[in-house]
Amino acid sequence: MKTKVAIIGSGNIGTDLMIKIIRLSESLEMSVFVGIDPESDGLARAKRMGITTCHTGVDGLIQMDEWKDIKIVFDATSARAHLYNWDKIKAFPDKKMIDLTPAAVGPFLVPPVNFSDNIDVPNVNMVTCGGQATIPIVAAVNQVAKVHYGEIVASIASKSAGPGTRANIDEFTETTSQAIEKVGGAEKGKAIIVLNPAEPPLVMRDTVFTLSEQADREAIRASVHKMVAEVQKYVPGYELHQEVQFDDIPESDPVFIEGLGKRHGLKTTVFLKVVGAGHYLPEYAGNLDIMTSAARATAERMISLQISKDR
């Protein structure tokens, strides 16, 4: 029997997640799709697909008969709205929340890196699209050599950045930077987002720079390739754009890193691209696809573990 879920947020991310659950999930069942605009395209699409909808937000959701059977709630709204939504839902201990906003109320979760550390947490945060794409790579390097500094540049098509994304730019950089440290393992993290207005729109591109202790380069390369394969299990369009590159930063000519001072070691550069699955949005919207795919994978792993515990 599938586990019933609700999605709050009828914009691009919420709608894409809904369609992924309906088409792909063997363990999750869409129960209620929630928004605040009764005329939104997402709610209209959900109705056409036979999904129960609610246009009065979280307050309306918890008054519905379906609420008692829902076990997981996805929040695909905004950082500010999530604070309100979680304040309502935390009163129900039998519900778990997966937060796709940059609110970062709960601990950061990147499925192939730290899922096992957050099994019993009631509210987990999926960081950001840039974080989901790049933090696995920082962690892969850190598994081989201690990472002093991790910097990521996420370039996404301007057309794939909706009003929620644009309103949360500051939260994006702050949340991603923190997660590079807390999840990726870097002593210091920095995140940059670029909204690319190119026409036709380009797919998501991410560049990851790390400065680490010196280590076996082949071991780092192998760790990165292994991590890419793990992410591809739930995001098939995730891949290396070029081979991993290395540069020596000699002790005689160190670089200055704000907050850390002068450091030397091994610089690793990884170029990625993320092509969306095209379930609801165009393939260039890989930034949305990786978020919704990671959220779905997280929920399915939660259910799988719960089933194992109950046996």
Separation of alpha carbons 204 and 202, rounded Å: 7
Structural domains of the chain ordered from first start: 3-126+290-310 (3.40.50.720), 129-282 (3.30.360.10)
Q: Write down the pLDDT at residue 180.
A: 98
DSSP sequence for the chain: -PEEEEEE--SHHHHHHHHHHHHH-SSEEEEEEE-S-TT-HHHHHHHHTT-EEESSHHHHHTTSGGGGGEEEEEE-S-HHHHHHHHHHHTT-TT-EEEE-STT--S-B--HHHHGGGGTT-SEEE---HHHHHHHHHHHHHHTTS-EEEEEEEEEEEGGG--HHHHHTHHHHHHHHHHHHHHTT--SEEEEEEEEE--SSPPPEEEEEEEEE----HHHHHHHHHHHHHHHHTT-TTEEESS--EEEEE-TTSPEEETTTEEE-EEEEEEEEEE----SSS-TT-HHHHHHHHHHHHHHHHHHHHHHHHH-
**CA 3 vs CA 89, 115, 250, 286, 307: distances in Å:** 18, 19, 54, 27, 11
Q: What is the mean pLDDT of residues 271-290?
A: 95
pLDDT of 278 higher than 70: yes
Separation of alpha carbons 41 and 101, rounded Å: 20
Q: Model confidence over 77-105: pLDDT tens digits?
A: 988 999 999 999 999 999 999 999 988 99
Q: Model confidence over 175-191: pLDDT tens digits?
A: 999 999 999 999 999 99
Reported confidence tier of residue 56, pLDDT bands at 50, 70, 90? very high
Q: Which of 289, 247, 269 is nearest to 126 (CA)?
A: 289
Q: Model confidence over 98-119: pLDDT tens digits?
A: 999 988 999 999 999 999 999 8
Q: What is the mean pLDDT of residues 14-37?
A: 97
Separation of alpha carbons 39 and 178, rounded Å: 37
54 is catalytic: no
Q: Write down the pLDDT at residue 309.
A: 74
Q: Write down the pLDDT at residue 222.
A: 98
Reported confidence tier of residue 245, pLDDT bands at 50, 70, 90? very high
Of 103, 129, 147, 152, which is the active-site residue? 129
Q: Model confidence over 192-243: pLDDT tens digits?
A: 999 999 999 999 999 999 999 999 999 999 999 999 999 999 999 999 999 9
Kindly state the percentage of the chain with pLDDT values over 90. Answer: 89
Reported confidence tier of residue 311, pLDDT bands at 50, 70, 90? low
Q: Write down the pLDDT at residue 93.
A: 95
Lowest mean pLDDT among 33-47, 163-177, 243-257, 288-302: 163-177
Q: Write down the pLDDT at residue 225.
A: 98
Q: Write down the pLDDT at residue 163.
A: 75
pLDDT of 167 higher than 90: no
Q: Which amino acid is at 143?
A: Q
